[in-house]
Amino acid sequence: MSLFGRGRGGPARVTARKAAARTDSARAAGNSGASVLLDVREADEWQAGHAPGAVHLPLTALAAGARLPAAAQARPVVVICRSGRRSRRAVELLRARGVEAVDVIGGMQEWAGAGLPVVDAQGGNGTVA
């Protein structure tokens, strides 16, 4: 059974809070099959602020055929960007490769708005760029 349901025939989308629960909580419980949070924003956006524990692969690289980071291979993926547009495109690309993937509604803007942590490249308090 899939971790991610589908609605109205299209790929499922999850809220920022559900994304956090599916990635952080499962990982903290020692579930090696836990979902990975994949941030598909560009490097400058990632460096300004991202979710702790997320892995990074810009959509431009993914679209050019780049492989998923090792931490995201053979695992379900929750994809996040700034607002949700790039993550929807990334999910399409990933599903075409056979990857189980969903995107986060509202992206990092919603993540930060929900009071979830955002860290910068040095591990300090980050911002959503």
The pLDDT-based confidence of 12 (bands split at 50, 70, 90) is: confident
Percent share of the chain, pLDDT over 90: 80
Q: How many angstroms separate the CA atoms of 58 and 65, rounded?
A: 11
pTM of the model: 0.88
Q: Edge-to-edge strand order for the sheet containing 101-104?
A: 13-14, 101-104, 77-80, 36-39, 55-56
Residue 69 · residue 81 · CB < 8 Å: no
In a domain, 28, yes or no: yes
pLDDT at 111 over 60: yes
Confidence of residue 120 (pLDDT cuts 50, 70, 90): very high
Instruction: Judge whether 77 lies within some domain.
Output: yes
Which is catalytic among the residues 81, 90, 102, 112? 81
Within a domain: residue 89? yes
Within a domain: 56: yes
Is the residue at 91 inside a domain?
A: yes
Separation of alpha carbons 70 and 86, rounded Å: 21
In the chain, the number of structural domains is 1
Whether 1 maps to a domain, the answer reads no
In a domain, 33, yes or no: yes
Domain that holds residue 93: 14-113
Whether 81 is a known active-site residue: answer yes
pLDDT tens-digit readout, 22-62: 886 445 545 555 799 999 999 999 999 999 999 999 999 99
Decide the pairing of beta strands 13-14 and 55-56: unpaired
In a domain, 8, yes or no: no
